[in-house]
Each structure stands twice: as structure tokens, then as C-alpha cells.
Amino acid sequence: MGRPPNPARREATLARATDYVLAHGLAGLSLRPLAAALDTSPRMLLYDFNSKQELVSAVLAEARRRGAARLAENLPPEAATAEERLRGIWAWISAPERAPFVRLFFEVHADGLAHPENYPDRAEAITDWFDTLGATFRDIATGPDDAVTPTLVMAVIRGLLFDLTTTGDRRRTDRALDRFCELLRH
Amino acid sequence: MGRPPNPARREATLARATDYVLAHGLAGLSLRPLAAALDTSPRMLLYDFNSKQELVSAVLAEARRRGAARLAENLPPEAATAEERLRGIWAWISAPERAPFVRLFFEVHADGLAHPENYPDRAEAITDWFDTLGATFRDIATGPDDAVTPTLVMAVIRGLLFDLTTTGDRRRTDRALDRFCELLRH
DNA sequence: CAATATATGATACGACTGTTTCAATAACGG
DNA sequence: CCGTTATTGAAACAGTCGTATCATATATTG
């Protein structure tokens, strides 16, 4: 007996905390402002998650989950050519609506470089996308187990994202992708 | 009259502080541990630089200066083909010795995304390299003012660096560069 | 020596951090 | 109502942060 637990509260808090982190970034995150924004208290954040560290882990997992779901929804159909699929992915991920995800993505990568001990599975952020995207570009691969083509394709996307988020020069980055598509064609 | 100022002290401190930041990263930087590592005091750090913010700016400028100098030393000779130059740049920048620079580079980028107000000239980190690297690949450009080719080349390098620093998979990233060279050739 | 300007240590301030402690409240079954 | 378990608020703790204050030391010129 006794009062029944309410797991929905933790879930709701996690969802809203993820929104907050996507909006404000990971860098300066602290419990008191976060709690205030979520209409809760630091006390409850530590009650539901056991420490700030675990809260952050949960938020990052949730963000990854959301990103993967959105990507699955928007993956270009298999029927399209590899070029069309590449263009589709670039258009999707470079859209302004994805900026918070992209920002968090880069932030986690940078933090992982400085403090690898906090990210025991840091390679996942790369290889996660590989399984889906590698399959997407299977037909332009040089062999059945070609990891090189997805590596290069993703490098171009990430590199152009880096450029776009820094310079904001969409025209130039879009054209660089055009050029890459052109190279792939010949 | 009065005691003469000693500008060499500030310079020496800046040099050692840059070493420290390259080794420890920007994220958790704080004055007291930094001062302890440099055999000085927070008091003196604020005396020479006026605030932590200005100290960081000076360190980043110094790091950029060093990186540019090293790059200038190691740029492949003009006589080489574009492919050889690209391979040379990749070999140089992906070498383990450059890891601290690369790490700081990504860290600044991520921090700039979260707090653009602290980096009024954030596009410089991109365009700086452009002037030198764009010129390096002038001969594979499609036109006299082709910004697209350097954009793509740098995107590949940065994207592969991102991958390499995350996964540590040198073999796969090296091969992805091979593949890119192959695409450029045809 | 005095006057002067730079350099430096010691210390304190106020704000913030993640976390803990203690007590109170709330919702349930019996 | 009672026992029990879940939840929650208020406050405190021990620490770190950037920075300011004040006094002192050091090196120079006249």
C-alpha cells in the first residue's frame, strides 16, 4: 500500500527539460534556473533523476531519440536516386528548425573531446546515424560492406553544417553540396 | 619616472596560459587553477588582462596565431598537385600532435553557437583559413572567384576531423579522404 | 633620501553551484 | 483513523566562481 508512484511526472519533466536544453544549450545549464523554467524545484529534479549528471544523460538520450524519430519520418523514399536522397537529408538537417538539434550535437561533441570520461559511448552519436544513413546510400557504395562512402557523405554534411552554423552563408554551403553531388555523379 | 612596466610578463603569461588552455580545454577554465598551474595568482591574471573574458579572447587569438604559423610552415609546396596538397593538409591536421588545436577549434565553435554574443567575429575562424586554403586549391576551382571548391574541401576535412576525433577510427577516415580524392580526380 | 609608478599578496564580497537534511504534506490500502 | 509510501518545500552546507579592496613591496628618477 501507500501512495502510488507517479512515473508520468518524471517523463513530463524530462520532456520539458529536453526542450529547455535544446533551447538554451548544455554549457551553462544549472539546476535552479532549469527548475524555475519548468515550474518545479531543484529538489524534485534530484528526486526524479539522482544527480545533475544523470539528468543530463537522460536529456541527451531523449534528444537523440527525438532526432532519430524525426529523421526516420523524413528520410527520402528508397525509390529516389542517391543524389536526391542526399539533397533531401541536407535540406532537412540544415533547415532552421533543426538548429537546436544541430547546436546540441556540436556541443556534446566538443564536451566529449574535453571530457571523454563523461561520454563512455561517445562513438554512438556517429555510428547511430550510420546504420540508417549507410543503408540509405548503399547503391553508391563500392562494395557490400563499404563504410567509406557513408563516412564521406556524413563528413560532407557535418562539415557543411559546421560552416553554415558558423558563417550563416546558406548560398555558399548549398552550392558546395551541389558540387559534391556533381562529383558523385561522374 | 617610477618603476618601469614589464610587458614581457604579460606575454609570457599569455603563452603559458595558451598552453594550459590547449591542454585542458576552455570549458571548465577558471582563474584559480589556471593561476596555480602558471605559478602566478588570479590577482595578476586580472592585472595583466582586465577580466577573464579578455584573457580568454587573448588566449584564443594566440592559439589562432600559432595555428596559422604552423599551417604556413607546413603547407605543401605550390608545385604539388591539388590532390597531394589536400592529402598533405589532411595528414598534417589529423596528426595526433594537432589534437589540442583541433579540440579547441571545435570547442570554440560549439560555445559560439550557444553564446554568439561572446564571439562577434566568429566567422573569422572559418574565413581565416579560406584565404590561405582557397588559394591553395585555386587550380581545381571552377572559376576565378570560386568559393565553392574551398568550401567543400574544408567541409570534408572538418567533417572527417569530427569523425576521427569522435570515433578514433583513422583507417576509415583516411580511406574516406582517399575516396574524396578519387572523386576529385575524375 | 623622497617621490612615483608598477607589481603583488592577502583577503573578502556576493553570487552561484550541486547536493543534503529535516520536516511537512498527500494519496493510497486496511 | 492508521500505517505506509510517495512527494515536496525550506533551508542549509560546503564549495567555487569572478572580481574588488587595501595594503605592501619593488624598482626607478630626481
| Predicted confidence (pLDDT) per residue in A99-133, tens digit | 999 999 999 999 999 888 888 776 666 666 666 76
> pLDDT tier at B24 (50, 70, 90 boundaries)?
very high
Asked if B109 and B29 sit in the same domain, the reply is: no
Q: Scanning the structure block, which residue is given the C-alpha cell 571523454?
A: A116
Q: How far in angstroms lies nucleotide C23's C1' from the CA of residue A37? A: 26
Query: How much is the pLDDT for B3?
Result: 97
Asked if A56 and A82 sit in the same domain, the reply is: no
Please state, for a pLDDT cut of 90, what percent of chain B lies above it. 70
Point out the least confidently predicted range of A65-79, B62-76, B152-166: A65-79
Point out the least confidently predicted range of A134-138, A152-156, B31-35, B182-186: A134-138
CB-based contacts of A154: which residues, under 8 Å, 6+ apart?
A126, A129, A130, A133, B159, B163
Measured distance CA(B140)–CA(B150) in Å, rounded: 9
Q: CB of B183 within 8 Å of any CB in chain A?
A: yes
Of A106, A167, A175, nearest to B123 by CB-CB distance is A167
Please state, for a pLDDT cut of 70, what percent of chain A lies above it. 91
Asked if B91 and B175 sit in the same domain, the reply is: yes
Asked if A58 and A90 sit in the same domain, the reply is: no
Instruction: Give domain status of residue A70, yes or no.
Output: no
Does B11 or B2 have the greater pLDDT score? B11
Given B42, B63, B84, the domain boundary residue is B63
Mean local confidence (pLDDT), B21-42: 97
Cβ of A176 within 8 Å of Cβ of B155? The answer is: yes
Does A172 or A131 have the greater pLDDT score? A172
The per-residue b/e assignment along B103-121, b for 16 or more CB within 10 angstroms, e otherwise, is bbbbbbbbbbbbeeeebee
Mean local confidence (pLDDT), B113-123: 79
Query: How much is the pLDDT for A137?
Result: 78
On chain B, the residues whose CB falls within 8 A of the CB of A166 are: 109, 112, 122-123, 125-126
Q: How far in angstroms lies nucleotide C9's C1' from the CA of residue A130? A: 57
Number of folded domains in chain B?
A: 2
Query: How much is the pLDDT for A43?
Result: 98
D8 C1': nearest CA residue: A44
Tell me which residue of B99, B94, B97, B10 sits closest to B59, measured CA to CA.
Answer: B10
Mean local confidence (pLDDT), B32-61: 98
Instruction: Examine the pLDDT at B71 and tell me if it is beyond 70.
Output: yes
Of B103, B166, B179, nearest to A114 by CB-CB distance is B103
Instruction: Give domain status of residue A68, yes or no.
Output: no
Point out the least confidently predicted range of A33-42, B96-105, B145-154, B163-172: B145-154
C-beta neighbour count of B151 within 10 angstroms = 27
Q: CB of B172 within 8 Å of any CB in chain A?
A: yes
Supply the CATH number for residue A26's domain.
Answer: 1.10.10.60
Cβ of A113 within 8 Å of Cβ of B154? The answer is: no
> pLDDT tier at B82 (50, 70, 90 boundaries)?
confident
Query: How much is the pLDDT for A125?
Result: 62
Asked if A80 and A128 sit in the same domain, the reply is: yes
Instruction: Examine the pLDDT at A90 and tell me if it is beyond 80.
Output: yes
Given A29, A63, A97, the domain boundary residue is A63
Asked if B46 and B110 sit in the same domain, the reply is: no
Instruction: Give domain status of residue B70, yes or no.
Output: no
Cβ of B158 within 8 Å of Cβ of A163? The answer is: yes
Q: CB of A173 within 8 Å of any CB in chain B?
A: yes
Measured distance CA(A112)–CA(A110) in Å, rounded: 5
Asked if A86 and A173 sit in the same domain, the reply is: yes
Instruction: Give domain status of residue A112, yes or no.
Output: yes
> pLDDT tier at B105 (50, 70, 90 boundaries)?
very high
Asked if A157 and A186 sit in the same domain, the reply is: yes
Model confidence, pTM: 0.92
Tell me which residue of A100, A104, A18, A22 sits closest to A62, measured CA to CA.
Answer: A18
Element housing A159 (H / E) = helix A148-167
Q: CB of A155 within 8 Å of any CB in chain B?
A: yes
| Predicted confidence (pLDDT) per residue in A5-60, tens digit | 999 999 999 999 999 999 999 999 999 999 999 999 999 999 999 999 999 999 99
Q: CB of B148 within 8 Å of any CB in chain A?
A: yes
Does A29 or A147 have the greater pLDDT score? A29
Residues with CB under 7 A from strand C: A 1-4, 29-33, 42-43, 46, 51-53; B 1-6, 9, 40-44, 47
Query: How much is the pLDDT for B131?
Result: 64
For chain A, the average pLDDT equals 90
Does B69 or B136 have the greater pLDDT score? B69
Of A103, A152, A172, nearest to B148 by CB-CB distance is A172
On chain A, the residues whose CB falls within 8 A of the CB of B134 are: none
Cβ of A123 within 8 Å of Cβ of B165? The answer is: no
> pLDDT tier at A93 (50, 70, 90 boundaries)?
very high
> pLDDT tier at A76 (50, 70, 90 boundaries)?
low
Cβ of B163 within 8 Å of Cβ of A151? The answer is: yes
Asked if A49 and A87 sit in the same domain, the reply is: no
Instruction: Give domain status of residue B69, yes or no.
Output: no
Q: Per the structure block, which three cell numbers stand in for B18?
A: 595558451
Query: How much is the pLDDT for B39?
Result: 97
Query: How much is the pLDDT for B122?
Result: 65
Instruction: Examine the pLDDT at B114 and tell me if it is beyond 90.
Output: no
Asked if A100 and A142 sit in the same domain, the reply is: yes
Asked if B161 and B106 sit in the same domain, the reply is: yes
Instruction: Give domain status of residue B68, yes or no.
Output: no
Single-letter amino acid code for the residue at A169: D
Eight-class DSSP state of A97: G
Q: Which domain holds residue A33?
A: 1-63
Given A16, A41, A63, the domain boundary residue is A63
The per-residue b/e assignment along B54-79, b for 16 or more CB within 10 angstroms, e otherwise, is ebbebbbebbbeebeeebeeebbeee
Asked if A56 and A84 sit in the same domain, the reply is: no
Instruction: Give domain status of residue A107, yes or no.
Output: yes
> pLDDT tier at B96 (50, 70, 90 boundaries)?
very high
On chain B, the residues whose CB falls within 8 A of the CB of A149 are: 179
Protein-proximal positions, strand D, CB < 7 A: 3-11, 16-21, 25-30
